[in-house]
């Protein structure tokens, strides 16, 4: 059964003031790191939803597919719709949605999300269930109806979860970048 990873990386990074995708930690960009982690989890194929074509060349060697989100200004739902539509077109039985700014994501965690393939499974942290998250094909129609910048939050509200408090940390500010660099050294 084919379970692709859809890396949602088309956000504007307003709080950081520069594209998160370009932040380099341990010699790789956050986007390259997310692709590598998805590959280590044996998710396949891997697609990165990005705001412009500059990512095509840098991700080509990794084998990841790059989708350009021309509606990125709408918010994360536009990236989810684009990625899920792509997954449906390649015959995926489910999909893992993830971002590139959660540096604590591990391959083992991504694999654990896919353990129960019949139901949505999110990551449990900070008292909520969020992404990364696995959605079976039965959830595709609901994901394709999302709009705006709220993502799949409502679809995960009562979902099964794999707890990992470390995922509460993501990169939103320059201070977060410095902390991530210190944690990974």
CA distances from 136 to 141, 156, 173 (A): 10, 12, 33
Share of residues in the chain with pLDDT > 90 (%): 69
> What confidence category does residue 89 fall into, taking pLDDT thresholds of 50, 70 and 90?
very high
> What confidence category does residue 168 fall into, taking pLDDT thresholds of 50, 70 and 90?
very high
- Report the CATH architecture of 5-184: Alpha-Beta Complex (3.90)
> What confidence category does residue 146 fall into, taking pLDDT thresholds of 50, 70 and 90?
very high
Q: What is the mean pLDDT of residues 55-60?
A: 64
> What confidence category does residue 1 fall into, taking pLDDT thresholds of 50, 70 and 90?
low
Q: What are phi and psi of 28, to 5 degrees?
A: -135, 150
> What confidence category does residue 22 fall into, taking pLDDT thresholds of 50, 70 and 90?
confident
pLDDT of residue 20: 85
Give domain limits for the chain: 5-184
DSSP of 138-179, one letter per residue?
GGHHHHHT--TT-TTHHHHTT-EEEE-GGGG----SHHHHHH
């Amino acid at each position: 059964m084919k379970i692709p990873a859809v890396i949602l990386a088309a956000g504007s990074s307003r709080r950081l003031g520069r594209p998160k995708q370009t932040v380099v930690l341990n010699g790789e960009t956050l986007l390259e790191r997310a692709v590598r982690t998805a590959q280590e989890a044996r998710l396949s194929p891997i697609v990165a939803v990005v705001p412009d074509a500059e990512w095509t060349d840098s991700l080509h060697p990794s084998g990841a597919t790059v989708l350009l989100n021309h509606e990125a200004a709408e918010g994360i739902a536009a990236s989810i719709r684009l990625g899920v539509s792509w997954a449906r077109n390649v015959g995926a039985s489910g999909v893992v949605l993830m971002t590139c700014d959660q540096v604590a994501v591990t391959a083992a965690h991504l694999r654990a999300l896919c353990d129960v393939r019949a139901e949505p499974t999110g990551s449990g942290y900070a008292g909520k269930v969020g992404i990364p998250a696995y959605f079976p094909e039965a959830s595709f129609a609901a994901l394709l109806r999302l709009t705006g910048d709220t993502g799949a939050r409502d679809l995960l509200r009562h979902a099964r979860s794999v707890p990992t408090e470390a995922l509460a940390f993501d990169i939103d500010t320059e201070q977060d970048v410095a902390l991530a660099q210190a944690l990974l050294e």
